[in-house]
Structure formats: structure tokens, C-alpha cells
Amino acid sequence: MSKLLNLTLHYQGKVLDRVRYGKDFKSKFFIGSNKYLFWQILDESFPDKHLFIAKKGDQLYLQLPPGAKISCSKEGKPVDNTFLQSNNILKENKLLLTPDMTGNLSIAPNWEISYEFKEPFKTVLTPEQQQIAAQFARRPQPTAIERFNRNLILLFILLTAVFIIIFDLFLKKQITYDTSLEQKIRTVQNAERIQAEALAKPSTFEEAGEVADIPQETATGKAQQGVTGGVAGGTGTAKSAGTIFGGDIGSFDPNATSLARPSYAVTIAEGFVTTRAGGGGGGTGPGGGSAGPGIGGGYGTSFNPNAPRTSAAELGSVATKAPSKAGSDIRPQGVAIVSAVGDQSKLQPSGVAFGQTAQTAQLISSYKSKNVTKVTEETIAQAPASSKTMITTVKDIVNSKKGLIQALYSKWNAIVRCSGSVSIRLLINSSGKVEDATITPNGNFPTGFLAELEQLCESFTFPIDKELDYTFKYRLGSS
């Protein structure tokens, strides 16, 4: 059996520790004053970390620390440094370790390391030693308290295992699902986006023209027709009409036979509402019946045209013209629409580009005349191959900026409830700056939000060197 290197650490002549090659280290062994090393030398002058043993090929070398003194013996006979150097055993600070040599190395005051090669041995016990070991090398008998504690712990473990089994089989509520995960995924993939038609239509308000003229004779005749079939016992006066029907009916002028005043119409996304000024008074007749309705079909009111009555705040595209006569269920037409005066600046019509000016139109015309590449998110795949890299870069940056758009929407949505989508068209010049951002809302959004969104988009910059007309859409709504 080959001999193995053994190192012994001494402090003030006393053995502190031993290490063996192949067991405690393989190819390298470090010593030093660092506290994280296996052998720590408690001397401030000693290096923090020093490679003491290194293996090169099949040979082991000992590297002498600075200031170390060495004394060696070869086959039991002392040798000096001249012998070591002449036989190439000691080269500079590297000492070749051979099995026929031993040595002692002084590395610091009071610190020494000795080395030698020994064959590994295994202790074999004699029959008497084995008998003694078998007699005494056993655990002591447990006391009564130790046995009780051990049995109590085993009982607790057994009861816990039984409870877990019973709970899992009988007590635990079984969770069942109506549909499997694959069916849910298939349902989501087959889902279609549904958008209300009223939001997709542009909202327009236009005057239908002048009020249609009705002959005076016709108006008078129709007004007087109302007296026939009156309720018996009425006096035919405004006061009696108010007594019979209640409310403010008694405030109308019984001599009024003129044409009704113009109607006011307001359209909303959910329904259609009209308001109108007080109508003319009903016609009078010779009989004792109550006054019949005039052509206005209404009664005098304190109507304020600056505050039209509506049932909701959103403006849609349900109707654009007023009805031709009172109580008609036909689509309004033929009568002039008088725009209601009020604070309508907080809503932007759906489907209409926001804030377009003559400068914007001129800029769009300039881009068209220069045949600037025009692309949307949906048509990137059909874009020219030479521009795809640039377009992809713009798309990635726009996607990274959508978080800013969502944050701006969340701020405004907390003030004014709004939802829908926006189409944003960016005209980007050759330096990467956005010259103009055109916002087209598809839904009900405040103009203040659209103005801030336009400023935000015009602050975007892109690392491109060509002009580009890029359009993308973004859905805004509460998650």
C-alpha cells in the first residue's frame, strides 16, 4: 500500500491538528490568518491566505511562506538546503515532497508544521477488546419517565395520522367543477367581441330648416274642433280646466290659436327625449264643455330653453331632426332643431376626430404627397420588408407606453365615468418626434381627457430616421 502525506500543526510545541492527503484535501491546501480557513494561523504578520500544498501531475509541492525556515531529513539523515537545491528538490520557494523524506517547517513565531509520508492503517480489535466493546458499547436502559414520554409521542403521532386519513376520506369537502379547464379555454377562444351600434355611429346635430308654415284657417279650424265632445258642466274657461285636470293647466291663454313654438330635441345613447316651450291655449267653443286642446296640444309653462330635460348624460346618434307634430311616433323631421344652450363641452361626439385643425390637415396632406409609409397595428404584416424593422420598433415602444395611457384614463375615470376605445394616429418625422397625434374616440370621453391624451402621445419619441404614419387602437374601461 502506498504511503500518503500527513501534515501536523504545532503551536508552542503542542499538536493542534492533523490532516491527510486524499481524506482532508485533494489537490490544494490553504493556510493563513483568515478565520474562514481550515488552518488559521493567529499571527498578524502571516498572509491572509496562502497556498501551502499544490499538486502538479503525480507530484506534491510545498510552497514556503515568506520568512519560513525548513529542516528536512532523507531516510532518517538530516540534509541542508544545498543538498535540496542540488537535487532539484527545492526550487525557489517550492519543495518537492517525496515519500523517503520528512521535514519540519517554522512558518511564524510559535507556529510549526511537520510533514511525513505514512501508510494508512486500520485498527483491528483483539477478541478481548471486542468482548469489552460488546459489553459496554450499548445504550443505557430508559427510565420510567423516558418510557412514558416516548410512548406519549408515539401515540400522538399515531392519532395525528388517523385524523388526517379520516379527514381526507370523509370530512374534506370535495371540490367539483361544472366544466373542465379545456372547456373553459375553448369557450374563451370562441368568444366574440360585441360592440353597441349606437357607439359605432357618429353623433351629428344639424338644423332641419325653418318651421313649416300652417295656414291660419286650418289652425283655427282644428282648434275649434276640440270643443265637440267636451265634458258636460264645464264653463269653458282656463280656471275650470285647471279645476278639472289639476296642475298648471289653468295658466294657458284660451284665446291663443297660433302655431306651437319650435321644439327642442336632444339625443342620448339610451333613448330619445324632446322638450318644448309652452304650447298655445286651447280653442274655445260656445258649448258648456271644457276647452279642447289647440294645435299646440300643450299648456303654458315656465320652460327654460337653457336647461333641456334629459334622462342621461351621454349623447349618441339616435335622431337628428325634430318631429313634425306633437305626439308623433315617427322619426323626427321637418321642424327646425334649436340647439339647447348649456355646458356640453365636457363630452366629445363618438367617432369624430378630436381637435383637428387646418395645420393638422395640411400636415396629413404633406405626408400623403411624400408617400410616407402608412400602417396600422393590423396591417404590419403587409408592410414593405424594408420598413418592418422600423415599424416593429415603433410598435414595441407604443406597447410600452400604453401603461401611461391607462394611468391617465384611470385618473379621469375617477372623476367622470367614461369607457370605450380610442384610435390614435401618430405622424412621426425623420428625427423620431411625433409632429401630430390625432385622437378619434369610440365612446363617451371628456374633452379634457382627450386633450391630455393628445399631449401625452405628442411627447413620444422613437429611434427611427424615416417619416412614418402609424395608427393604433386602445381599449379603455374598468377592469
What stretch of H or E contains 43? none
Q: How far is CA 149 from the centre of its chain?
A: 56
Do 8 and 114 meet the contact criterion of CB atoms below 8 Å apart?
A: yes
Tell me if residue 119 falls in helix, strand or coil: coil
Question: Residue ranges per domain, the chain?
Answer: 4-118, 194-343, 358-476
Tell me if residue 159 falls in helix, strand or coil: helix
- The DSSP output letter for 75 is T
Do 322 and 277 meet the contact criterion of CB atoms below 8 Å apart?
A: no
| Tens-digit pLDDT string for the chain (479 aa) | 588 999 999 999 899 999 999 889 988 999 999 999 999 999 888 999 999 999 998 899 999 998 899 999 998 899 988 899 898 899 888 999 999 899 999 999 999 999 999 888 777 889 998 888 888 877 888 899 999 999 999 999 999 999 999 999 988 887 776 777 788 888 888 776 665 555 555 555 455 454 445 455 544 444 444 444 444 444 445 445 455 554 445 555 555 555 555 555 544 444 444 444 444 444 444 444 444 444 444 444 444 555 444 433 333 344 445 455 555 555 555 444 444 444 445 555 666 777 778 888 888 888 888 888 888 988 888 888 888 888 889 999 999 988 999 899 998 888 888 888 889 988 899 888 898 888 898 888 888 888 898 889 989 999 988 888 899 999 887 54
Termini Cα distance of the chain: 78
At residue 59's C-alpha, the angle toward residues 58 and 61, to 5°, is: 150
Q: Sign of dihedral through CA atoms 324, 328, 332, 338?
A: positive
Sequential DSSP letters for 268-300: -SS-EEEEEPPPPPPP--SSSSPPPP-TT-S--
Q: What is residue 315's predicted lDDT score, i.e. its pLDDT?
A: 38
Pairing of strands 28-32, 90-91: unpaired
Class of domain 4-118: mainly beta
Q: What is residue 222's predicted lDDT score, i.e. its pLDDT?
A: 45
pLDDT tens digits for 437-458? Answer: 888 988 888 888 888 988 899 8
